[in-house]
Amino acid sequence: MAAAAMRSFSVVGLGIHRFLGLTGRCLDVECITSIRRCSNTSYTTYNDVDPAPLFFEGEVQVVLQRVTGMDIDRIFRRRQQEKKSTPPKYQFLTNEEVDEYMSEAREKAESLLQMPPVLKERQPINTILETNTSLQAHHTDKYVFADITFGVSDRNRTILVRETDGTLRSAWWEERDRINQTYNPRPGRNVVMPKLFNEENLKSALGRQEYEFVLDRVCAQCEPDSSVYQRVCVCVYDALDTHHHHNTLYSTRHYGPMCFYLAWNKRIDSLLVSLIQEEKINTASDIVYLYQLIHKDCKSAKLNIEHTQHVEFIKGYIEEDCLQRAQVQLALQCYQDLQHQRQQHQHTVTNAHGL
């Protein structure tokens, strides 16, 4: 679809506003080129098979939530929200009231740990509703029509554009994002894409290990199926995997999608190594189980080892499907030796106590 570089368009909603800026089509091209530059390994965005049916499946969600963990101190850390802070309250409570408050806190924690959806990358919108050439000389700016009815969500809002040559089309994704922010402003989201998501700035931020900040920022700014979101997430997961910093996302909302992504791309080995080294053997076996849920036809699934026998389960994976076999095997071996030593030590202590 031919598009001239249009610099301004009018918006009809509550009133008529004048917008200045490049249109979505120019941004579209930018995004495509930067995807190629950023992903230099086998990591790619979700653009072939739709991961959504698998991601939202009950079993996978349960496993991801279990794997994410619930570190209360991490989740309820002090956040600086630019508001006036109040001193803490101390109360005397009965046991029942304490349980009530604890369950409320757990619900709040679960809502804070809600995972961003994992979706297939959205395809460009090319719907043309009408070509009315009699409107050609009528206006020199594009008109954007947005449905601002109360209760309509951003994703289902009707947004149409009447071009200068009289074509009435659906708005492109980038235009939709801008219009949604204009008429339904959300905290943390800007009309203009933050410069953090450009390649150099992203690399420098990841070099400073600000993984959670970048992911939070991209969640607040972009939709989970947009190309920018997918590209940034790929960059972050790439950096995490390379430097073995997976545990920086532990007990955050991004841990689940990260594990899903690594399992989808068959790259869970470095994650397994870090988990085993931290002695989180349950989590490691959960990751292998997740891998089997996603790739149902993998060899280790056919071994039918019980998922609860963590060490055997992981060994089955190492023998059949593992790609960095030596490292994972070594890590598991060290873990087993450590457990054995601890048991021995415990044994000698109990003997010494005469028990």
Partner 1 sequence: MFSSCINFYSFKPLKMLRSIGQGVTRLLPVVCPTTHMAKAAVRVIEGRSVTKLLYEVRRIQWITTCKTMRCEVAEEEEEGEGEKKEDNIPPEKNRRQIIPVETSIKYMQSDAYKTTYGDEPVWVKYRRNFKGGLPPTKTRKTCIRDGILATGNPCPVCRDEFLVVEYRNLELIKQFISPFNGAVLPPLKTNICQKQHRRLLVAVNKARDYGLLTYDVPHRHYDYSEYYQPQQQDDTTEAGR
Residues that bind partner 1 (CB under 8 A): 50, 52-53, 55-56, 79-85, 111-112, 114, 116-117, 119, 122, 125, 127, 129, 153, 155-160, 170-171, 176, 186-188, 194-196, 201-202, 204-205, 210, 213-214, 216-217, 219-220, 224-225
Select 222 or 281, whichever has its Cβ closest to partner 1. 222
Least separation in angstroms between CB 303 and partner 1: 30
Place of tokens 């991801």: 64
Least separation in angstroms between CB 299 and partner 1: 29
Least separation in angstroms between CB 319 and partner 1: 35
**Tokens describing residue 45:** 């965005």
Least separation in angstroms between CB 75 and partner 1: 11
Q: Is the Cβ–Cβ distance between 305 and 312 less than 8 Å?
A: yes
Select 196 or 298, whichever has its Cβ closest to partner 1. 196
Select 11 or 314, whichever has its Cβ closest to partner 1. 11
Least separation in angstroms between CB 330 and partner 1: 36
**Helix axes 281-294 and 58-68, enclosed angle (nearest 10):** 160
Select 210 or 278, whichever has its Cβ closest to partner 1. 210
Least separation in angstroms between CB 324 and partner 1: 31
Least separation in angstroms between CB 72 and partner 1: 16
Q: Is the Cβ–Cβ distance between 143 and 113 less than 8 Å?
A: no
Select 201 or 344, whichever has its Cβ closest to partner 1. 201
Least separation in angstroms between CB 253 and partner 1: 9
CA distance linking residue 158 with residue 171, whole number of Å: 9
Select 257 or 316, whichever has its Cβ closest to partner 1. 257
Select 186 or 347, whichever has its Cβ closest to partner 1. 186
